[in-house]
Structure 1
Amino acid sequence: MAAEQNQKLDKQDRLLVIACGMIAREILAVKAQLGLDHLELNCLPAEYHFYPDRIAPAMDEAITEAKAQGFRHIFVGYADCGTGGHLDVVCEKHGVQRMAGPHCFAFYQRMETYRKIADDDMMSFYMTDFLCRQFDAFFIKPLGLDKHPELIADYFGNYEKLIYLAQTDDPELDKVAQMAADMLGLVYERRPTGYGDLPAGLARAAELQSH
């Protein structure tokens, strides 16, 4: 009982980030970069990228559970991500904040920049480091393109460009993105974004926690 009480007290002083599994590696990299040793990470399944209707209910449950465990400082490592405002309802219910923006493709590019280019990118298909690493698992197999490549035209026929938003400088990931563009018949563009607004978002969450 005493050990459990001590664990709860310890968690009261920590910052819990409940995030999309697609940005777990990036959050840990920023944690190390900023020296946020008190940051603890919990991720919802990355596959919710395909099922945005699952994000808000899962986040509601995750925050409720985290509070029961003793966490007082919680930050949501998601943008809206296709929830249509439902994630904001959950955040308001629990009094927590999330990453600003419509999706990670926006905050990786920084919101100020994204607002200026969003219209021009309307016909573009975005990839990130995660999506390059998981291209087969997240696109080829779920869409059945490994068995039915003729479906490429149906899925990607309205896109004109593939834009790789590179968080890191990794030639191997660049090769995957270029290969994907060639396979999908899209013009290829690489944009080195780094972590965009993520460091500022996590730093701000940590600062709010300290007050």
Structure 2
Amino acid sequence: MARTQKTKPNQTDRLLVIACGMIAREVLAVKEQLKLDHLDLTCLPAEFHFYPDRIPPAMDKAIEQAKADGYEHIFVGYADCGTGGLLDRICEKHGVERMAGPHCFAFYQGMDAYAKVADDDMMSFYMTDFLCRQFDAFFMKPLGLDKHPELIKDYFGNYEKLVYIAQTDDPELDKVAEKAAKMLGLAYERRSTGYGDLTTELASAAAHA
């Protein structure tokens, strides 16, 4: 369950972002970059990346809790993220907005840029800074690849390349992505995207708070 930062009842001058745990570091980076001092952050578990059906009910409860805590301005730090429109229903129910797009891989690149490569990327496996940092925890161990590398073909056999969407310039993360591509038998491409539309959408949400 999401943990919301404490605030005074009826406090109306702050914006609460309820985000996926996978983008927490990036939201805080944008907050610092744009000096959004009135932005607060709470996150749902990053593991919901694998269980998108858990996102809408958890978000429903998180928004209700945030309103009970006195927040009037709330922004959902998720794209659709595999919920099949169910997250949009929760947003409509509470009158809040979410990140535009199908997933973070799209909004990090920027929706306009993503639209140009989406068809060509159909057979691509995306990684982000977070997924590079958590590659073992999110892929190797849950999929059993650390003990059964022969399963790589079963899980990744339909992919053609690994695309690392880089939010920062970190040589250590580059190494992880390159190593992952080699291990998975995929071609490798690195795209330096920064925070993409996350920056503009958080700025817009904060301006209206």
For residues 34-49 of structure 1, the aligned pairs below 5 Å read 34-49=34-49
Q: Quick one: which amino acid aligns to residue 143 of structure 2?
A: L
For structure 2, the 5+ residue unaligned runs are 1-6
Tell me the CA shift for residue 208 of structure 1: 1.8
Q: Quick one: which amino acid aligns to residue 120 of structure 1?
A: D
- Distance in 1 (CA, whole Å) between partners of 2:199 and 2:163 is 22
For residues 1-211 of structure 1, the aligned pairs below 5 Å read 7-10=8-11, 12-209=12-209
- Distance in 2 (CA, whole Å) between partners of 1:66 and 1:194 is 29
Tell me the CA shift for residue 207 of structure 1: 1.6
- Distance in 2 (CA, whole Å) between partners of 1:24 and 1:184 is 27
The Cα RMSD (Å) is 0.8
Q: Quick one: which amino acid aligns to residue 66 of structure 1?
A: A
- Distance in 2 (CA, whole Å) between partners of 1:116 and 1:67 is 38
- Distance in 1 (CA, whole Å) between partners of 2:170 and 2:10 is 41
Corresponding residue for residue 4 of structure 2: none
Q: Quick one: which amino acid aligns to residue 99 of structure 1?
A: M
Structure with larger Rg: 1
Measured against aligned partners, the alpha-carbon deviations of 1:6-59 in whole angstroms (never above 9, x if no partner) come to: 81143x221000000000000000000000001000000000000000000000
SS at match of 1:19: strand
- Distance in 2 (CA, whole Å) between partners of 1:156 and 1:69 is 44
- Distance in 1 (CA, whole Å) between partners of 2:29 and 2:185 is 33
- Distance in 2 (CA, whole Å) between partners of 1:84 and 1:207 is 29
Measured against aligned partners, the alpha-carbon deviations of 1:164-184 in whole angstroms (never above 9, x if no partner) come to: 000000000000000000000
Superposition TM-score, scaled by structure 2 size: 0.96
Measured against aligned partners, the alpha-carbon deviations of 1:144-173 in whole angstroms (never above 9, x if no partner) come to: 001111000000000000000000000000
Corresponding residue for residue 3 of structure 2: none
SS at match of 1:163: strand
Q: How many residues align?
A: 203
Spell out structure 1 runs of 4+ moving beyond 4 A.
none
Q: Quick one: which amino acid aligns to residue 55 of structure 1?
A: I
- Distance in 2 (CA, whole Å) between partners of 1:16 and 1:7 is 13
Q: Quick one: which amino acid aligns to residue 8 of structure 1?
A: P
Measured against aligned partners, the alpha-carbon deviations of 1:100-151 in whole angstroms (never above 9, x if no partner) come to: 0000000000000101110000000000000000000000000000111100
- Distance in 1 (CA, whole Å) between partners of 2:67 and 2:111 is 30
Superposition TM-score, scaled by structure 1 size: 0.95
- Distance in 2 (CA, whole Å) between partners of 1:176 and 1:8 is 45
- Distance in 2 (CA, whole Å) between partners of 1:169 and 1:207 is 28
- Distance in 2 (CA, whole Å) between partners of 1:108 and 1:90 is 23
